[in-house]
Chains A and B, each alone.
Chain A
């Protein structure tokens, strides 16, 4: 009879301090000698993590009302445009919005500055209404002056991601970093066997309501992320071989740390936000034990040419090869470089492990599972009728 555990049983063990918690890298090592059945018996929770640039990130902020009040219809935070269509003093500042004066400073930097307690210049304009007569305000805000301030990221923690290369004669500056001409480098982003959605590829334990580590504090999965694609090609272990599922996440920005949230600027691309995410996976049964045991060499990904139109595929590789420092593309040896921090991801996985072991964090049964069988629409151009 194979072992099955409930969330309640695991949480009880976590509270008692008797649960066995390992990081995904540790359990992958253990799997070299133990069967999934043995792992299911011995291990209760596996911690996974990632720390990469996630462009689809941003923050909801409520500034509070001034006297006289203003209905903000154009908003700038350190000259960075923030969304003006959310009531009078609510806004959403996206990581990739950029300053009108400095293209290297964007919403991501506003978010990092807010976390660090720095003052931000808020300037807003309104047309003036009977109930909100004011037409302009220019003031200073920071994390202590605003009401709510929370990170709400529509698409994070991609389940796998492609490797980026460039076959052309010119340098390409991309969100996957600087790609040297003629296949002189290959950049990859995923944390491999430590990456959250690669350890639970069917998302049996990750769903709406899952409690996670987000940016240094506790956060939650709110929804499937945008561009949530569950029907992409999978390898024989059921792991997608390119970017597939994603999660939308939320958490209190006031409690976050810039050690785990970092603004970024990519040359000739724009700004983005490095986001630290950790997801605990309860080992409910043998199937999950098998999934979390996955090793870098078993996780494949696709090599795409970012220099050519349509980003054609140049083949496949796996994370053991990518992490070794070089891969072969069309028989040519190509140097590899990560563009997401495995050092930070490991740190997050270990912090989460310690919190779980200390009974300070629990595993959450999702209130609703993600949809299955999803695919993506592309944007069609409709010709105007004359």
Chain B
């Protein structure tokens, strides 16, 4: 079966810490999980950036299962805003982006942004001299 890889930001409610949700994703839905970033505060909300890999059908079921358990799942792309129309293509953000999500196209020297490569390190936010990036991780 063909699998796909997608990145999601998961917001956990305070009471969800007692359930092994990620274990169920692996066991029941055959989804491979790569944790790229985690901010978990015991007793409070937690946020995870996960790369999920599985069949389209299983990913859909897995996400539905998480949502049934009051975990908000949003594709990573929706958590990042980049005001591209104001970008001057200076390149400052590419200096700090070690995943290659932000790169200069060396033919026309325009900035190319691939949110699917982002790991929400958030270094681009202060690096952009025009303040064009907003990341809503929490």
Q: Are B88 and A337 in contact (CB under 8 A)?
A: no
Q: Are A272 and B104 in contact (CB under 8 A)?
A: no
- How near does chain A come to B99, taking the closest CB pair, in angstroms? 12
The reply to whether the CB of A100 lies closer than 8 angstroms to some CB of chain B is: no
Q: Once the chains are docked, how many angstroms separate the CA of A177 from the CA of B106? A: 20
Cross-chain contact of B95 among A178, A267, A344 (Cβ < 8 A): A178
Q: Which residues on the A side are within 8 Å of B4 (C-beta)?
A: none
Q: Are A339 and B89 in contact (CB under 8 A)?
A: no
Q: Which residues on the A side are within 8 Å of B126 (C-beta)?
A: 173, 178, 267
Q: Are A185 and B96 in contact (CB under 8 A)?
A: yes
Q: Are B96 and A341 in contact (CB under 8 A)?
A: no
Which of B10-18, B23-31, B32-40, B127-135 contacts its partner?
B127-135
Cross-chain contact of A339 among B95, B98, B106, B109 (Cβ < 8 A): B95
Q: Are B88 and A184 in contact (CB under 8 A)?
A: no
Q: Once the chains are docked, how many angstroms separate the CA of A274 from the CA of B88? A: 9
A343 with B108, Cβ < 8 A, contacts A178-B123, A262-B130, A266-B129 known: yes
Interface SS of B by simple majority = loop
Interface residues of B in 98-113 (CB under 8 A from A): 98, 104, 106, 108-110
Interface size class of A (residues with CB under 8 A): 20 to 34
Q: Are A341 and B91 in contact (CB under 8 A)?
A: yes
Q: Are B127 and A267 in contact (CB under 8 A)?
A: yes
Q: Are B127 and A178 in contact (CB under 8 A)?
A: yes
Per-residue B-contact encoding for A315-352, CB less than 8 Å = 1, 0 else: 00000000111000000000111111111101000000
Q: Once the chains are docked, how many angstroms separate the CA of A177 from the CA of B96? A: 9
Q: Are B130 and A178 in contact (CB under 8 A)?
A: no
Q: Are A337 and B106 in contact (CB under 8 A)?
A: no
- How near does chain A come to B91, taking the closest CB pair, in angstroms? 4
Interface residues of A in 211-266 (CB under 8 A from B): 262-266
Q: Which residues on the A side are within 8 Å of B47 (C-beta)?
A: none
Cross-chain contact of B131 among A187, A265, A272, A325 (Cβ < 8 A): A265
Cross-chain contact of B129 among A51, A53, A324 (Cβ < 8 A): A53
Q: Are A341 and B88 in contact (CB under 8 A)?
A: yes
Chain B, residue nearest A267 (CB): B126
A339 with B123, Cβ < 8 A, contacts A177-B95, A266-B129 known: no
The reply to whether the CB of A30 lies closer than 8 angstroms to some CB of chain B is: no
Q: Once the chains are docked, how many angstroms separate the CA of A61 from the CA of B124? A: 35
Per-residue B-contact encoding for A163-188, CB less than 8 Å = 1, 0 else: 00000000001000111100011010
Q: Which residues on the A side are within 8 Å of B89 (C-beta)?
A: 341-344
Q: Which residues on the B side are within 8 Å of A323 (C-beta)?
A: 106
Q: Which residues on the B side are within 8 Å of A267 (C-beta)?
A: 126-127
Q: Once the chains are docked, how many angstroms separate the CA of A344 from the CA of B130? A: 15
- How near does chain B come to A343, taking the closest CB pair, in angstroms? 4
Q: Are A180 and B96 in contact (CB under 8 A)?
A: yes
Q: Once the chains are docked, how many angstroms separate the CA of A325 from the CA of B90? A: 14
A262 with B127, Cβ < 8 A, contacts A184-B98, A346-B109 known: no
Given contacts A104-B131, A274-B90, A339-B90, 17 further A-B contacts (CB under 8 A): A53-B90, A177-B129, A178-B96, A180-B96, A180-B98, A180-B123, A185-B95, A187-B95, A264-B130, A274-B129, A323-B106, A324-B106, A325-B106, A337-B92, A337-B95, A337-B96, A341-B89
10 A-B pairs (CB sep. < 8 Å): A53-B90, A180-B96, A180-B98, A185-B96, A187-B95, A337-B92, A337-B95, A342-B89, A342-B109, A343-B89
Q: Which residues of B contact A (CB under 8 A)?
A: 88-92, 94-96, 98, 104, 106, 108-110, 123, 126-127, 129-131
**Which 3 residue pairs spanning A and B have beta carbons closest together?**
A337-B95, A264-B129, A338-B91
